Amino acid sequence: MAIIVDENTRVIVQGITGYQGAFHTRQMLNYGTKIVAGVTPGKGGQRVEGVPVYNTVMEVLENHEAEATVLFVPAALAKDAAFEALDAGLKVVVIITEHIPVHDEMAIAAFASRRGATVIGPNTFGIVSAGKCKISIMPHQFVTPGPVGVVSRSGTLSYEIVANLTAAGLGQSTIVGLGGDRVVGLSFVDVLRLFEADPATEAVVLIGEIGGNAEEEAARFISSMTKPVVAYIAGRSAPPGKRMGHAGAIIERGRGTFAGKVEALRGAGARVAEFPGEVPELIRQALTS
Amino acid sequence: MKLFEYMGKELFAKYGIRVPRGRVVASAEEAAAAAAELGPPVVLKAQVLVGGRGKAGAVRFADSAAEAGTAAAEMLGREIKGCRVERVLIEEKLRIDRELYLSVAVDGGARRPILLASAHGGVDIEEVPEDRLVRYHVDPSVGVLPYVAREVTRRLGLSGNVAREVQRIIPAMYRIFCEKDAELVEINPLVVCGEEVLAADAKVTVDDEALFRQKDLPYVEERTAVERRAHELGLSYVELDGNISVMANGAGMTMATLDLIQAYGGRPANFLDAGGGTGEEATAQALELLLATGPRAIFINIFGGITRCDDVARAFVRVKESREIPVPVVIRLVGTNEEQALAILRAAGIEAFRNMEEAARKAVELAGGEG
């Protein structure tokens, strides 16, 4: 079992002929991801890493079957590419692209919800189903299969914590990057609900950061979960009003503070790590208690 | 990007939202002339991108042209909450019967725009009790149809001409919100003067990521010189007030690094996210940028995914050989090509850390703790 994607998921790469698209197509193929085709308008007929390239998503689906797509297209073109994928009926759309205008992100989210599709991102490292399927830019040498689900708002910090887990002998079930933008397709609650129902997941690591109220909403859900949750929240030292890289990471008008999030999570029964390096030990305690 | 009040009001006027008669001035002479032309009494408002201007003395009244000139002279060049006043907006003084609040904003949690309205305007909206706020989520694929505005005015308890005016203003604000890629369009207060309804203030924040397609908007620079330089290098940089310069990769990772420094009693001088896939050249330039800010110590914390640790190591050695580095540098490198990186650094006489917590503690120690 796995959440959202598994070993049978067939994947399209939109923007496959670009530098990032081609590089990560190779990485994903190396991991065993079933990439059936790529799309770059005007580049139909080429091959990238042996993967056939088409001009449109619908053209791909006339020749192949696929359930998911991953976008490596420039920000200004991302809305068009995401709508194309959703309109063609794809049910999982992973948007790696960063710097997408927020109005485009709201439009994508609204269209996806009408189509009953799952959008991961934008501005995400993607999703890795450990040992099965990687639709992600995450360096997979640090990933190992196991019982810990990971859901996060930030990329490198997830790699750090996943590497710590692996080093401590704690493998992962699925690793999901929500994305660092203010408007993203999935919330912590959406993913926690999936982990709670996933037989392969025994405990969850939630990696949050200051800004917004996603962690507070997560806390409300965590209080009803049977599986233990360990959280780490970045941004304790951030001054109010300064946007820390991610569009969502800003303390505005006293909301989205570190203290508020930690209090909500602890109140819901989650264990909160002071440092990223503490996460494996807290997971171990949670799994053995 | 925040727009100055006067820019927001120009936008409002173009979209049919009434604003007070006014002029933007940059000198005392212009201020006196504008006041004479508008006819006193007038109000003078310093154009700065911070809230709470009333309490900070950035809004003043004048009963004559001469008084307006004096008030403007006192305001211009002054700093208000760290922002230098370069322009003053002079407007007719209104006879206000009541103050309302209206805004359209991005609600990240709901993934939709939200309309916020209150019959209690003129104060910080955060201080308005929840039961006096009207909230309405907009489906972005539908927009604001007239019934939405009718419903909002009903809930505000408005009637007659005032209700009709507000019903016209709400869709106009939403049009600005969409057409200008705004994150926030706020009128606080929206004032009722007899039968007239006017925007007495304007707060418009435009999505930075959409500026590429908003070429006809004026550009407003809020960043410091160093932040600008970092942006040109493709780095995400925020100035802070400490003395330990930090370079890390990824926003979450960089925040976590700052948190560790603070937890060990140090004070970070900046947030510098070198991003994923930062090569040797960009890393070297980022280092130069940090050195130029004159920190007490530098802490480089890299988890190599797409970023290759050996690139970072080479960049550091290159900078170290090309110039004197007057402060201690702590380097922590883990991930892709870590072994090569450690070898490169060792050959240059540098010991890198592998554990992020230990490295942060060392950086704080070398910077001399608090101070």
Q: Which among A114, A183, A249 has CB closest to B111?
A: A183
CATH (domain of A196): 3.40.50.261
Of the residues A102, A120, A138, which one is the last residue of a structural domain?
A120
Q: How far apart are CA A250 and CA A242, in angstroms?
A: 6
**What token pair was written down for B96?**
């206000």
Give how far A64 is from chain B: nearest CA, Å.
30
A1, part of any domain: no
Class of domain B21-92: alpha beta
CB contacts of A106 in chain B (<8 Å) are 106, 111-113, 140
Q: What topology is assigned to B98-213 in CATH?
A: D-amino Acid Aminotransferase; Chain A, domain 1 (3.30.470)
Output the CA–CA distances (angstroms, integers) from residue A89 to A61, A185, B1, B161, in the order listed.
9, 16, 36, 48
CATH 3.40.50.261 assigned to B225-366? yes
A5, part of any domain: no
Q: Say if residue A69 is in the same domain as residue A166.
A: no
Please count the CA atoms within 13 angstroms of the CA of B127 that sit on its side-chain side.
7
User: Number of structural domains, chain A?
Assistant: 2
Q: Residue A94's domain spans which residues?
A: 10-120
Q: Say if residue A231 is in the same domain as residue A178.
A: yes
Q: Say if residue A222 is in the same domain as residue A253.
A: yes
CB B104 within 8 A of CB B79: no
Would you say how long chain A is, in residues? 289
A246 is catalytic: yes
Of the residues A120, A155, A187, which one is the last residue of a structural domain?
A120
Q: How many CB atoms lie within 10 A of CB B367?
A: 27
Q: Which among A137, A142, A155 has CB closest to B252?
A: A155
Q: Where do the domains of chain B lie?
A: 21-92, 98-213, 225-366
A2, part of any domain: no
Q: Say if residue A142 is in the same domain as residue A277.
A: yes
Of the residues A63, A87, A120, which one is the last residue of a structural domain?
A120
With an 8 Å Cβ cutoff, are A102 and B181 in contact? yes
Burial label for B56, CB within 10 Å (0-12, 13-18, 19+), is middle
Q: Say if residue A142 is in the same domain as residue A191.
A: yes
**What token pair was written down for A264?**
């909500």
With an 8 Å Cβ cutoff, are B207 and A103 in contact? yes
Nearest 5°: the CA angle B214, B220, B221 is 125
pLDDT tens digits in sequence order for chain B, 371 residues long: 999 999 999 999 999 999 999 999 999 999 999 999 999 999 999 999 887 788 888 999 999 999 999 999 999 999 888 889 999 999 999 999 999 999 999 999 999 999 999 999 988 887 888 888 999 999 999 999 999 999 999 999 999 999 999 999 999 999 999 999 999 999 999 999 999 999 999 999 999 999 999 999 988 888 888 888 888 888 889 999 999 999 999 899 999 999 999 999 999 999 999 876 667 888 888 888 899 989 999 999 999 877 889 999 999 999 999 988 999 999 999 988 899 999 999 998 888 999 999 999 999 999 985 44
Q: Say if residue A166 is in the same domain as residue A270.
A: yes
Q: Say if residue A92 is in the same domain as residue A142.
A: no
pLDDT tens digits in sequence order for chain A, 289 residues long: 689 999 999 999 999 999 889 999 999 999 999 999 999 999 999 999 999 999 999 999 999 999 999 999 999 999 999 999 999 999 999 999 999 999 999 999 999 999 999 999 999 999 999 999 999 999 899 999 999 999 999 999 999 999 999 999 999 999 999 999 999 999 999 999 999 999 999 999 999 999 988 999 999 999 999 999 999 999 999 988 888 878 777 777 678 899 999 999 999 999 999 999 999 999 999 999 7
> Where do we find the tokens 């419903």?
B151
Q: Say if residue A78 is in the same domain as residue A164.
A: no
The 10s digit of each residue's pLDDT in A239-249 is 888 888 787 77
CATH (domain of A99): 3.40.50.720
A3, part of any domain: no
Give how far B212 is from chain A: nearest CA, Å.
9
Q: Say if residue A178 is in the same domain as residue A284.
A: yes
- pTM score of the predicted model: 0.93
Q: Say if residue A40 is in the same domain as residue A60.
A: yes
Q: Say if residue A137 is in the same domain as residue A271.
A: yes
The pLDDT value given to residue B129:
84
Q: Say if residue A70 is in the same domain as residue A20.
A: yes
The pLDDT value given to residue B371:
45
Position B122: which residue type?
G
Q: Which among A105, A155, A244 has CB closest to B255?
A: A244
With an 8 Å Cβ cutoff, are A246 and B248 in contact? no
Q: How far apart are CA B140 and CA B39, in angstroms?
A: 43
